[in-house]
């Protein structure tokens, strides 16, 4: 497993060896299996995985709504697992720490008996703020999420997207440094999803808010995440910044973030995925390759996209001949600073190539 | 009997019934609400999970609730005397009525509180709220429409119980119906009593439904309100009595 941590940026959320085992009727289910997560300050970090992969357990362990069986969670330099104590109930210190971590939920979890404004005021009530201060802060936050005209409405009178905006405003009431997003857009239509993601992105930039989100939608990661991790069966199988992932040969996450299709047209062909990032995208490498080695190249598929604010191009090309015949041209492509994944590379050679 | 003879009798009986039911409802709500909430909190997976306490409370509630009221009343006689100094009259009737209604209301509260979405509890926990905050800010306010409906059901049930209390000297409408209708064949007075009861129950049910609905409406998207439940609630009463 690779660790996604480069020198700049302090980790604001760190989990190490996080393990969660559920026991029910003598059966044990391991939801988290030694998860090490490092989320740096000011970034949007996405954890993606299928349902049952453990991402929900992971995010709920971060503010200890779920008690980890083993491992530690540190948020903003504070070891939450040490604050938790032994009993199932959260002590005062843990509750104070939680109030500095915002959380938004898939199903919004707004109180139907309260108006929008009162919902946003709830965390402030818990913090013991005065009535005046509460309403000032709540109106300010509603303005920030673009719902100042709905302050007196009840949640049931709002659309899904509006409810999630209220949820976000509420999560920000305690001036958190960290926002946890538990599938915040999964109950919304694509259009609304985009606007909520945009809001999260804006908040991340304006307030310097660190966002840890979990999702099963690749699009979410693609549109707002700076870093991402892929979870499978309670483990993080890949993680890193989006550009690191795209630069990682054979990265599943990169392939899923940025898929290219195309099948080899015959047995004696070599299929190669070429990934361009930044500068390399401007070089006419394919025609150079063709001219230098006098080979015919066919393009099976290509796409250019913006992933995590990065312009990325990916192309799947086919070279005549088997891999052994193309070692030199592929070497040439690598020399140009491109990332090359040989799709039908024989296993034996793969070991050597690395 | 003429109307001028019947009127003071009915009037007094009506007030007696409302007096008994009013006080015992108040006590039932004060006692049953925390008990019902506790039943939810101590349950497996609850915020104050305590399986033993849950079993004990649940068992007490079950036994007390399934006890026929007339037997409970007799069984509690010495306790009633200890509390009120007597076993007859309105005040004395309030004791068994309240004790009978507490577990009844507690179960209704339990059901209502269980309906509250666990996600809301989690949301408040994530804000740093403690269990008391969860109860005060989430469980009770969010289940308030159901709690009001439960109170209505309890009041209607208590009117039924109070009639039984009437047969052993508590006064009220039940007492009139037995003494005049059953023992003296004053059919007219008996039918009048029935009519008065029907009106009282309808008014209470209507008021309760109205309150629950107007609370519910602000939660509901449109006027999708629960239907009037006059008939349903009165059949429930006859069952519980």
Share of chain B above pLDDT 70, in %: 90
Domain residues for B191? 3-240
CATH number, domain with residue B175:
1.10.3720.10
Q: Do A90 and B125 touch (CB under 8 A)?
A: yes
User: Spelled out in words, what is the top-level CATH class assigned to the domain A262-353?
Assistant: alpha beta
Q: Show residues of chain B in contact with A107, CB under 8 Å.
A: 117, 119
The whole-number pLDDT of residue A354 equals 39
Whose structure tokens read 């307030």?
A: A207
Tokens of A167: 């949820």
Q: Which residues of B touch A172 (CB under 8 A)?
A: none
The answer to whether A310 faces chain B, any CB pair under 8 Å, is no
pLDDT at B231 > cutoff 50: no
Q: How many domains does chain B have?
A: 1
In chain A, which residue's Cα lies nearest the Cα of B220? Answer: A156
Residue A93 C-alpha, separation from nearest chain B C-alpha, in angstroms: 9
Q: How far from the centroid of its chain's Cα atoms is residue A281's Cα?
A: 25
Q: Which residue in A208, A221, A185, A206 sits closest to A305, CA to CA?
A: A221
The whole-angstrom distance between A163's CA and the closest CA on chain B is: 13
Half-sphere exposure of B228 (CA within 13 A, CB side): 10
Residue with tokens 């690598």: A334
Taking an 8 Å cut-off on Cβ atoms, the answer to whether A126 and B120 are in contact is no
A329 touching B, CB under 8 A? Answer: no
Interface check for A78 against chain B (CB to CB < 8 A): the answer is no
Residue ranges per structural domain of chain A? 11-246, 262-353
CA A273 to CA A293: how far, in whole Å? 18
Q: Are B178 and B166 in contact (CB under 8 A)?
A: yes
Reported as half-sphere exposure (CB side, CA atoms, 13 A), residue A78 has a value of: 18
CB contact under 8 A, B123 and A109: yes
Q: Which residues of B touch A180 (CB under 8 A)?
A: 126
pLDDT digits (tens, 9 = 90+) for B26-42: 999 999 999 999 999 99
Instruction: Identify the bridge partners of residue A231 per DSSP, sorted by sequence position.
Output: A49, A236
Neighbours of B177 (CB within 10 A): 24
pLDDT of A195 over the 90 cut: yes
**Structure tokens that stand for B177 in this block:** 């119906």
Residue A109: its chain B contacts at CB < 8 A?
117, 119-120, 122-123
Residues in chain B: 241
Of A83-97, A117-131, A215-229, B186-200, the range with the lowest mean pLDDT is A83-97
Question: CB–CB of B126 and A90 under 8 A?
Answer: no
Of B119, B126, B215, the CB nearest to A98: B126
B128-160 pLDDT, tens digit each: 999 999 999 999 999 999 999 999 999 999 998
Please judge whether B221 and A156 are an interchain contact, meaning their C-beta atoms are less than 8 angstroms apart: yes
What average pLDDT is seen over chain B?
A: 85
Q: How confident is the model at residue A346 (pLDDT cuts 50, 70, 90)?
A: low
**Partner residue facing B127 (CB), from A114, A122, A156:** A122
Give the closest residue to B162 by CA, choosing from B93, B214, B104, B74.
B93
Q: Check CB contact under 8 Å for B129 and A126.
A: yes
Checking if the pLDDT of B68 tops 70, the result is: yes
For residues B72 and B170, give the distance between their C-alpha atoms in angstroms, rounded to a whole number: 15
Between positions 167 and 186 of B, the ones with CB within 8 A of A are none
From the list B120, B122, B128, which residue is nearest A111 (CB)?
B120
Domain A11-246, CATH: 3.40.50.300
Residue range A55-70: average pLDDT?
A: 91
Provide, as residue numbers in chain B, all residues whose Cβ is less than 8 Å from the Cβ of A127: 128
CA distances to A3, A117, A278, B146, B209 from B100, rounded to whole Å, are 64, 41, 78, 20, 23
| pLDDT band with cut points at 50, 70 and 90 for residue B53 | very high
Contacts of A125 in chain B (CB under 8 A): 137
Please compute, for residue A228, the number of CA atoms within 13 A of its CA located in the half-sphere on the CB side.
27
Instruction: DSSP letter for A313, please.
Output: E
């Amino acid at each position: 497993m690779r660790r996604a941590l480069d020198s700049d940026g302090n980790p604001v959320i760190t989990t190490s060896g996080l393990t969660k085992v559920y026991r029910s009727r003598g059966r044990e289910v391991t939801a988290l299996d030694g998860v090490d997560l490092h989320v740096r300050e000011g970034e949007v970090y996405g954890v993606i995985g299928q349902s049952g992969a453990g991402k929900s357990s992971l995010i709920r362990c971060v503010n200890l709504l779920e008690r980890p069986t083993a491992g530690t969670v540190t948020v903003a330099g504070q070891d939450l697992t040490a604050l938790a104590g032994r009993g199932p109930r959260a002590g005062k210190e843990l509750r104070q720490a939680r109030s500095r971590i915002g959380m938004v939920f898939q199903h919004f979890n707004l109180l139907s008996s309260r108006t929008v404004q009162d919902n946003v005021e709830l965390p402030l009530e818990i913090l013991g703020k005065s009535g005046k201060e509460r309403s000032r802060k709540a109106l300010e936050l509603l303005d920030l999420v673009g719902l100042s005209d709905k302050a007196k409405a009840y949640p049931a009178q709002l659309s899904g997207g509006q409810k999630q905006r209220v949820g976000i405003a509420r999560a920000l009431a305690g001036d958190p440094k960290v926002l946890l997003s538990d599938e915040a857009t999964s109950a919304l239509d694509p259009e609304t999803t985009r606007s909520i993601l945009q809001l999260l992105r804006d908040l991340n930039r304006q307030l310097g808010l660190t966002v840890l989100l979990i999702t099963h939608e690749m699009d979410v990661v693609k549109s707002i995440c700076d870093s991402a991790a892929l979870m499978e069966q309670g483990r993080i199988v890949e993680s890193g910044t989006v550009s690191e992932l795209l630069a990682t040969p054979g990265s599943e996450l990169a392939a899923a973030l940025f898929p290219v299709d195309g099948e080899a047209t015959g047995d004696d062909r070599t299929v190669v995925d070429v990934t361009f990032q930044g500068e390399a995208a401007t070089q006419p490498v394919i025609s150079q390759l063709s001219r230098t080695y006098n080979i015919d190249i066919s393009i099976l598929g290509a796409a250019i996209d913006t992933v995590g604010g990065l312009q990325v191009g990916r192309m799947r090309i086919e070279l005549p001949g088997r891999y052994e015949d193309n070692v030199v041209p592929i070497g040439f492509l690598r020399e140009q600073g491109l990332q090359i994944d040989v799709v039908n590379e024989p296993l034996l050679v793969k070991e050597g190539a690395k | 009997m003429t109307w001028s003879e019947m009127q003071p009798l009915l009037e007094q009986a009506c007030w007696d019934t409302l007096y008994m039911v009013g006080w015992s409802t108040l006590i039932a709500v004060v006692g049953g609400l925390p008990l019902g909430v506790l039943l939810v909190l101590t349950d497996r997976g609850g915020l104050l999970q305590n399986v033993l306490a849950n079993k004990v409370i649940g068992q007490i509630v079950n036994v007390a609730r399934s006890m026929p009221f007339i037997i409970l009343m007799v069984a509690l006689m010495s306790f009633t005397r200890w509390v009120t100094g007597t076993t007859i009259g309105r005040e004395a009737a309030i004791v068994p009525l309240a004790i009978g209604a507490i577990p009844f209301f507690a179960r209704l509260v339990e059901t209502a509180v269980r309906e509250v979405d666990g996600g809301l509890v989690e949301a408040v926990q994530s804000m740093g709220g403690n269990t008391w905050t969860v109860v005060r800010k989430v469980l009770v306010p969010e289940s308030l429409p159901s709690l009001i409906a439960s109170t209505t059901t309890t009041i209607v049930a208590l009117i039924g119980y109070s009639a039984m209390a009437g047969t052993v000297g508590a006064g009220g409408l039940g007492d009139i119906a037995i003494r005049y209708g059953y023992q003296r064949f004053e059919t007219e007075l008996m039918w009048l009593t029935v009519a008065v009861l029907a009106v009282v129950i309808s008014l209470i049910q209507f008021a309760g439904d109205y309150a629950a609905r107007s609370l519910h409406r602000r939660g509901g998207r449109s006027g999708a309100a629960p239907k009037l439940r006059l008939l349903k609630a009165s059949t429930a009463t006859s069952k519980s009595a």
